[in-house]
Amino acid sequence: MVITRRRVTRAGDMKALAHPVRLDLLDLLMVHGPLTASEAAVRLRQTPANVSWHLRKLAEHGFVRQATSGPGRRRPWKVVAESLSWGDDAEDAATATALHDVTLEREMRILRTALAHNPDEATVWRDATEVYQSRLWLTAQEAAEIGAQIRELFTSFVDERRDPSNRPANARVMALMAWVVPTGPAPDEVQQ
């Protein structure tokens, strides 16, 4: 099962994404599959009306759509693309930066929460928890190569495990985040 990907470049679409509840909703639908607004509201500790409003906003920008109707008035929503990306090809750099900021704040919240609860986890899960960082001297080509290897590793698990029948019985949702970014001046800037 191959996941669908979307590159977000339009400023209006980025503004629609740059909201913590909407990012949480997209993540919830990507991980758990189609849910109604009421089901999502319970999991996100939000009101159904608030979740419905955010789902409609996401739908206006093509991020979610209603899944096939359920029984009665049950109307589940699902994501249109399971993977979203954006970057320097955005229409508006300031909007892309705002979306990066909201996303990073959300990821740091997830990390802080996980680390705070880590002592309560079973030993096997505590041992599986990893926070790793490093600073390396790399050429642009090497940095691109590492980024591609990380992306390939992540994607192989995402693609395979998207289908619930491919998940081991003892698997659980884990957060993985990586970045490969320059933190010092470029070589030609150092020599000046």
Residue 90's domain is classified under what CATH number?
1.10.10.10
Best CA proximity match to 50, nearest among 24, 83, 12, 87: 24
Q: What is the pLDDT along the chain (192 residues), one digit of tens a residue?
A: 566 888 999 999 999 999 999 999 999 999 888 999 999 999 999 999 999 999 999 999 999 999 986 666 789 999 999 888 888 888 889 999 999 999 999 999 999 999 999 999 999 999 999 998 999 999 999 999 999 999 899 888 887 887 888 899 999 999 988 889 999 888 876 655
As a whole number of angstroms, the distance between CA 90 and CA 109 comes to 26
As a whole number of angstroms, the distance between CA 40 and CA 182 comes to 38
Same domain, 137 and 64: no
- Does 163 map to a domain? yes
Q: Are β-strands 5-7 and 83-85 bridged in parallel, bridged antiparallel, or unpaired?
A: parallel
- Does 192 map to a domain? no
Same domain, 87 and 155: no
- Residue 6's Cβ-side half-sphere holds a number of Cα atoms within 13 Å equal to 15
Task: Kindly tell me the burial class for residue 83, based on how many C-beta atoms sit within 10 Å of its own C-beta (0-12, 13-18, 19 or more).
Answer: middle
- Domain edge (last residue) among 120, 153, 168: 120
- Does 69 map to a domain? yes
- Domain edge (last residue) among 100, 120, 140: 120
- Does 46 map to a domain? yes
Same domain, 107 and 137: no
Same domain, 19 and 114: yes
Residue 93 token pair: 């750099």
Same domain, 20 and 86: yes
Range of the domain at 170: 132-187
Same domain, 109 and 179: no
Same domain, 17 and 105: yes
Model-level pTM? 0.82
Q: Residue 192's pLDDT is what?
A: 52
CA distances to 9, 19, 31, 62 from 96, rounded to whole Å, are: 8, 13, 24, 18
CA distances to 27, 108, 111, 170 from 120, rounded to whole Å, are: 24, 19, 15, 18
Same domain, 48 and 139: no
Q: Are β-strands 83-85 and 77-79 bridged in parallel, bridged antiparallel, or unpaired?
A: unpaired
Cα 65–Cα 67–Cα 73 angle in degrees, nearest 5: 110
- Does 127 map to a domain? no
Give residue for tokens 């030993």.
123
- Domain edge (last residue) among 120, 149, 164: 120
- Does 125 map to a domain? no
Same domain, 65 and 159: no
Look at the chain and report how many structural domains it folds into: 2
DSSP category for residue 164:
G
Same domain, 1 and 73: yes
Same domain, 23 and 107: yes
DSSP category for residue 183:
-
Q: Which residues contact 90 (CB under 8 A, 6 or more apart)?
A: 8, 9, 11, 14, 96
CB atoms within 10 A of CB 86: 19
Give residue for tokens 């041992």.
127
